[in-house]
């Protein structure tokens, strides 16, 4: 599903964020990506979503070489991907419902069908009844759930989440991770970046640990 | 096809939302562009009317022959005999000085035109319709008539119509120039309003891109917005120009009648209006396209 081979990422005017990183995530796996702050977790996520291009090495997603993808193909890669970003990137000029609708609208789905799916996604994350609210009026944990609903609304086979439980208390974090587990159970491949080791202890899974851009076991 | 239609409906819905986000600003920019459009549109109408005048005056060329004020009846008879013999004359009409005065009085509506004058200052006049309409033939005829006894002046209307025609041609060039300059101004206004929208929505655009929007998906609502703003501006200009003509026509009718010209003004034809709409929409869209830059 995901395959990194000798990936190096150097941001302009910065030391290397990733140094020769190689790993693979098989379809149906649940994988944690951990490491200290600045270790390069978000960089890995951004490479998968083609937000950044690798300086060297290859990044394969769905057998596509993401680093070589033409600008025209990138949108279609992203539509196959469920993505929860470290900064929420919710739009505060529209309702929760419209935020969740966004990926379907972009994909050109019929509005009625899209609405049905968006409601189903909101149900799944426990936000039924909050559809009309503005996301700014929601708590941090609820906003995370909206992000999660938006990530899964197009029913992706691969779900990547960057610190989806950051700044949440343990109860909320458990709820959110439980939802990821549910998706994993129905066959979705999940990659979660987190530095919360206690969470990993409660929900065991394969772990990839980054240390200053180097993958350590 | 369905997907394509859907994409466009979606873009239209977004465009509508874009409008309602800042309805006053959008309305006012359309008005500003519309006012800018009024200049070339007004110029175009003036030029069109000049052309109608030039053509109207040109189809019926006339030469006016003015006699000396003290020309006698015998002298007039001599003039008429020569006119009949002159091969370049198709027909002619005599307007006596008294008749001319009366006509002037009814035309201006005042009876006391003569109050300050000792006698009728208007001359006896012959109106000649030449056989040939060409300017050369008219000039030749005028030159020969000018040498006849008691003729003080010969006036070839063609000179006037010729001037009009030249004026109309100049008008066309001026209108074209105005059109180009104001087209650029419109482009700048459209660019500015849409640039502002793009800047206030950079976050939204970034999120759209993150969730798989193609560049054309992002661009489409802005392009529609630019085009609609252009159309609204053109409609504004069309309505204002049409309204002005409607207001001015009856007020100008008396003047035009006095010159024996049609009192119907040439306005904007539907085809002109549609061309205006199309041009304006295109310029609006181009402004939006430039404003989007690399987005
Ligand atoms: N856009 C960027 N431009 C320059 N340097 C960057 C950029 N993004 C990240 N970096 C650098 O790359 C390194 C890895 O950053 P990254 O965001 O991947 O870390 P992270 O593991 O996600 O950290 P955190 O847990 O704080 O989110 C850091 O040293 C960071 O300063
Ligand atoms: Mg990070």
Phi and psi at A39, nearest 5°, equal -75, -20
Q: Are residues B40 and B79 in the same domain?
A: no
> Could you count the other beta carbons within 10 Å of the beta carbon of residue A69?
17
Helices B270-292 and B23-59, packing angle to 10 deg: 140
The mean pLDDT value for B126-141 works out to 81
Q: Are residues A8 and A73 in the same domain?
A: yes
Host domain of residue A100: 88-155
Q: Are residues B190 and B263 in the same domain?
A: yes
Of the candidate ranges A3-7, A114-118, A200-204, B284-288, the one whose mean pLDDT is the lowest: A200-204
Q: Are residues A23 and A59 in the same domain?
A: yes
Compute the distance from residue A42 Cα to the ligand 1 centre, in Å. Answer: 7
Q: Is A141 a residue whose pLDDT tops 90?
A: no
- C-alpha B217: how far from chain center: 41
Compute the distance from residue A194 Cα to the ligand 2 centre, in Å. Answer: 8
Host domain of residue B118: 62-157
The structural domain count of chain B equals: 2
Tens digits of residue pLDDT in A143-157 = 999 999 999 999 999
Last residue of a domain, one of B128, B157, B186: B157
Q: Are residues A96 and A137 in the same domain?
A: yes
What mean pLDDT, rounded, does chain B reach?
Answer: 82
Task: Provide the phi-psi class of B97: left if phi over 0, else alpha when psi is between -120 and 50, else beta.
Answer: alpha
Q: Are residues B83 and B209 in the same domain?
A: no
Residue nearest ligand 1's atom 6 by CA: A11
Q: Is A31 a residue whose pLDDT tops 90?
A: yes
Cβ(B57)–Cβ(B161) under 8 Å?
Answer: yes
Tens digits of residue pLDDT in B42-51 = 887 877 777 6
From chain A, pick out residues whose CB is under 8 angstroms from the CB of B211: 78-79, 83, 102-103, 106, 150
Q: Of A106, A108, A110, which is closest to B211 when you measure between CB atoms?
A: A106
Q: Are residues B125 and B68 in the same domain?
A: yes
Give B233 or B116, the one with higher predicted confidence. Answer: B233
Tens digits of residue pLDDT in B220-251 = 989 999 999 899 999 998 899 888 888 888 87
Q: Are residues A68 and A111 in the same domain?
A: no
Q: Are residues A166 and A67 in the same domain?
A: yes
Q: Give the pLDDT confidence score for residue B208 in this predicted structure.
A: 93
Residue A45 alpha carbon, nearest atom of ligand 1: 18
Residue A40 alpha carbon, nearest atom of ligand 1: 18
Q: Are residues A136 and A181 in the same domain?
A: no
Q: Are residues B84 and B116 in the same domain?
A: yes
Q: Are residues B23 and B112 in the same domain?
A: no
Tens digits of residue pLDDT in B247-281 = 888 877 777 776 666 656 777 778 888 888 998 99
Ligand 1 binding pocket mutation candidate from A33, A41, A85, A86 (most atoms within 8 A of CB): A41
The structural domain count of chain A equals: 2
The mean pLDDT value for A62-75 works out to 90
Last residue of a domain, one of B135, B157, B179: B157
Q: Are residues A9 and A72 in the same domain?
A: yes
Q: Are residues B171 and B134 in the same domain?
A: no
Q: Give the pLDDT confidence score for residue A198 in this predicted structure.
A: 81
Going by C-beta distance under 8 Å and a sequence separation of 6 or more, which residues neighbour residue B91? Answer: B128, B129
Our CA-based measurement puts residue A214 at a distance from the nearest CA of chain B, in whole angstroms, of: 27
Model confidence band, residue A44 (pLDDT cutoffs 50, 70, 90) = very high
Q: Write down the residue that tokens 């979660």 correspond to.
A: A192
The mean pLDDT value for A74-93 works out to 91
Q: Are residues A62 and A95 in the same domain?
A: no
Model confidence band, residue A184 (pLDDT cutoffs 50, 70, 90) = very high
Q: Are residues B100 and B113 in the same domain?
A: yes
Contact: A108, B6; criterion CB under 8 Å? yes
Element housing A209 (H / E)? strand A206-211
CA dihedral B275, B278, B283, B289 (to 10 degrees): -160
Q: Is B37 a residue whose pLDDT tops 80?
A: yes
Q: Are residues A149 and A211 in the same domain?
A: no
CATH number at residue A31: 3.40.50.300
CATH number at residue B133: 3.30.70.3040
Q: Give the pLDDT confidence score for residue B3 in this predicted structure.
A: 67
Helices A96-107 and A140-152, packing angle to 10 deg: 20
Of the candidate ranges A109-123, A131-145, B91-105, the one whose mean pLDDT is the lowest: B91-105
Protein residues with C-beta less than 5 angstroms from the ion ligand 2: A 41-42, 86
Q: Are residues B218 and B179 in the same domain?
A: yes
The DSSP-derived string for B35-90 is HHHHHHHHHHHHHHHHHHHHHHHHHS--EEEEEPTT--HHHHHHHHHHHHH-TTEE
Q: Are residues B181 and B243 in the same domain?
A: yes
What are the residue ranges of helices labelled H in chain A? 41-48, 74-79, 96-107, 111-124, 140-152, 170-185, 197-202
Q: Are residues B143 and B43 in the same domain?
A: no
Q: Give the pLDDT confidence score for residue B259 in this predicted structure.
A: 65
Q: Are residues A72 and A171 in the same domain?
A: yes
Q: Are residues A187 and A215 in the same domain?
A: yes
Q: Give the pLDDT confidence score for residue A98 in this predicted structure.
A: 93
Distance CA A138, CA B219 (A): 31
Could you give the 3-state DSSP secondary structure of residue B279?
Answer: helix
3-state secondary structure B122-140: CCCEEEEEECCCCHHHHHH
Our CA-based measurement puts residue A79 at a distance from the nearest CA of chain B, in whole angstroms, of: 5
Q: Of B203, B204, B212, which is closest to A103 when you measure between CB atoms?
A: B212
Q: Are residues A202 and A163 in the same domain?
A: yes
Q: Is B194 a residue whose pLDDT tops 60?
A: yes
Q: Exposed (0-12), middle (13-18) or buried (19+): which is B77, by Cβ within 10 Å?
A: exposed
Q: Is B174 a residue whose pLDDT tops 90?
A: no
Q: Give the pLDDT confidence score for residue B114 in this predicted structure.
A: 67
What are the residue ranges of helices labelled H in A49-169? 74-79, 96-107, 111-124, 140-152
Compute the distance from residue A144 Cα to the ligand 1 centre, in Å. Answer: 21
Q: Are residues B51 and B71 in the same domain?
A: no
Last residue of a domain, one of B103, B128, B157: B157
Could you give the 3-state DSSP secondary structure of residue B206?
Answer: helix
Residue A210 alpha carbon, nearest atom of ligand 1: 21
**3-class SS shares of chain B: helix, strand, coil, % to 5:** 75, 10, 20
């Amino acid at each position: 599903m995901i395959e990194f081979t000798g990936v190096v990422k150097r941001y302009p005017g910065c030391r290397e964020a990733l140094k020769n990183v190689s790993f693979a995530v098989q379809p149906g796996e649940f994988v944690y990506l951990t490491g200290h702050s600045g270790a390069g977790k978000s960089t890995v996520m951004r490479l998968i979503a083609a937000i950044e291009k690798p300086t060297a090495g290859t990044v394969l997603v769905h057998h596509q070489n993401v680093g070589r993808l033409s600008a025209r193909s990138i949108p279609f890669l992203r539509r196959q991907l469920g993505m929860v970003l470290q900064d929420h990137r919710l739009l505060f000029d529209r309702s929760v419902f419209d935020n969740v609708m966004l990926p379907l609208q972009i994909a050109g789905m019929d509005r009625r069908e899209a609405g049905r799916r968006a409601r189903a996604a909101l149900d799944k994350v426990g936000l039924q009844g909050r559809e009309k609210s503005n996301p700014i009026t929601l708590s941090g944990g609820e906003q995370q759930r909206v992000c999660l609903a938006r990530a899964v609304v197009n029913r992706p086979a691969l779900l990547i989440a960057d610190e989806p439980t950051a700044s949440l208390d343990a109860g909320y974090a458990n709820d959110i991770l439980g939802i990821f587990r549910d998706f994993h159970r129905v066959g979705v491949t999940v990659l979660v970046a987190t530095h919360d080791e206690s969470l990993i202890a409660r929900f065991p899974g394969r772990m990839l640990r980054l240390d200053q851009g180097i993958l350590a076991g | 096809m369905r997907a394509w239609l859907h994409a466009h409906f979606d873009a239209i819905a977004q465009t509508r939302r874009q409008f309602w986000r800042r309805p006053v600003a959008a309305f006012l920019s359309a008005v500003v562009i519309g006012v800018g459009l009024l200049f070339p549109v007004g110029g175009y109408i003036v030029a069109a009317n000049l052309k109608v005048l030039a053509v109207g005056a040109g189809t019926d060329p006339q030469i006016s022959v003015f006699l000396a004020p003290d020309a006698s009846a015998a002298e007039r008879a001599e003039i008429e005999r020569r006119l009949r013999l002159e091969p370049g004359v198709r027909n002619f009409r005599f307007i006596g000085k008294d008749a001319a005065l009366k006509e002037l009085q009814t035309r201006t509506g005042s009876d006391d035109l003569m109050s300050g004058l000792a006698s009728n200052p208007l001359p006896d006049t012959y109106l000649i319709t030449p056989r040939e309409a060409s300017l050369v033939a008219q000039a030749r005829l005028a030159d020969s008539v000018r040498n006849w006894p008691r003729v003080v002046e010969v006036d070839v209307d063609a000179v006037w119509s010729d001037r009009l025609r030249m004026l109309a041609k100049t008008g066309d060039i001026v209108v074209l120039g105005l059109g180009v300059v104001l087209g650029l101004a419109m482009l700048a206004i459209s660019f500015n309003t849409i640039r502002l929208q793009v800047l206030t929505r950079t976050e939204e655009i970034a999120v759209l891109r993150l969730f798989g929007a193609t560049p054309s998906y992002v661009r489409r609502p802005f392009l529609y917005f630019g085009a609609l703003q252009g159309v609204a501006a053109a409609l504004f200009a069309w309505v204002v120009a049409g309204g002005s003509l409607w207001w001015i026509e009856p007020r100008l009718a008396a003047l035009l009648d006095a010159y024996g010209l049609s009192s119907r003004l040439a306005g904007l034809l539907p085809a002109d209006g549609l061309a205006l709409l199309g041009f304006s929409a295109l310029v609006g869209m181009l402004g939006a396209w430039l404003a989007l830059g690399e987005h």
